[in-house]
Amino acid sequence: MDSSPRSSITGKVKRTPWWMKSLTGWSYVIFEMLFQKMQARHLKNPLPLPPLHDVTCIVTGSTSGIGLETARQLAVSGAHVVMAVRNQSAAHDLIMKWQDERHGTSLLSVEVMELNLLSLASVVRFARAWNLRSKPLQVLINNAGIFSMGEPQKFSEDGYETHLQVNFLAPALLSVLLLPSIIKGSPSRIINVNSILHYMGFVDTDDMNFTSGKEKFNSAKAYSSSKLAQVMFNSVLQKRLPPEAGTSVLCVSPGTVHTNVARDLPKLVQAAYNLIPLFLFSAQEGSRSALYAATAPEIPEYCKALKADEWPTCAYISHDCRPTRAAIEAHNTRAANEVWEKTLDMIGLPLDAVEKMIQGEEVMCKYRDS
């Protein structure tokens, strides 16, 4: 299915002007913010979870906000949780705090591993270290992300725009490199914390770094486009995984959440942001969609049904833990395949990386340690 409008002369996808996409995207945010609590009133907070004693979960960005709540609740429910973070000291402090709050009851099964998404070599090291354990991984939650609103353009040590790398490229590399462990953990799940702002994103595979001059950079463009690319890439990943792999691939929207993202906003916007707490989700409320995607027993069958129906995108779960439709741009299968191929090139993997890993073959990444 490819429902994107095309020029009869060039055959290229017609792109909606940025100002129109921006207006539409921010209107979605305002609507979501005003009505999200009403839409999610059927959900309990915290979300009740089943016992998870035989489940291993990796959660990136788990020292603050949604990731912190996600990791804590999974651990309290009995899962073995791996906090994949830059700040290992902060993670260890949190584990001690969570344990103290249990007042001497059973110990939580939580460990900390270093992961810096601004370094693709760090992603390779992390995945290699985990895969060498030869242990199954049931749940990968790509939660970490940045939105440096109003900030000038910045680049990672790998030369990629920081929103693109942290929100999309590094999680994509992590998901692919961990496939041997994820398939071993079947039935397993790859969950990507996305955003309603992906509706105003666009992806130009010739200029994903915003360096050609075709599009003037701003952080909202970079953030929303990285989130749209995430949906498109994972939609192809879901199709590439055979049924026998037993892996469900999903994107989830947490809602409009009161988290540390405000630290990156302009002072005036921070002030407004702090004036509307009654409408915003707490981090605990924002974690519900990821937790639902990670634990709900109906998720594998839902993902399987979408794939059987040849639905063009991976499953997308909204802030109210109900299935929803991803942005129309994500339904363009030709563009999604272009994003897939470009992404594998950018993260240093061969085009047949997934197929080789499914067959148990070793795949080399150009960002491996020398």
- Over residues 238-260, the pLDDT tens digits come to 999 999 999 999 999 999 998 66
> CA gyration radius for the chain?
20
Residues 6+ apart with CB under 8 A from 277: 258
Q: How far apart are CA 149 and CA 358, in angstroms?
A: 39
Q: How far apart are CA 178 and CA 127, in angstroms?
A: 6
pLDDT value of residue 8? 31
Q: Which of 28, 160, 199, 223 is catalytic?
A: 223
State the average pLDDT over residues 157-169: 98
pLDDT value of residue 354? 98
Residue 266 pLDDT more than 90?
A: no
Residue 358 pLDDT more than 90?
A: yes
State the average pLDDT over residues 329-342: 97
Q: How far apart are CA 29 and CA 33, in angstroms?
A: 6
pLDDT value of residue 263? 58
Q: How far apart are CA 174 and CA 122, in angstroms?
A: 10
pLDDT value of residue 105? 81
Token pair 């994500």: residue: 330
Burial (Cβ within 10 Å: 0-12, 13-18, ≥19) of residue 296? middle
Compute the mean pLDDT over every residue in the chain, rounded to the nearest whole number: 92
Residue 199 pLDDT more than 50?
A: yes
Task: Say whether 302 is catalytic.
Answer: no
Is the peptide bond preceding residue 187 cis, with omega within 30 degrees of 0? yes
CB neighbourhood size of 239 (10 A): 19
Q: How far apart are CA 115 and CA 246, in angstroms?
A: 26
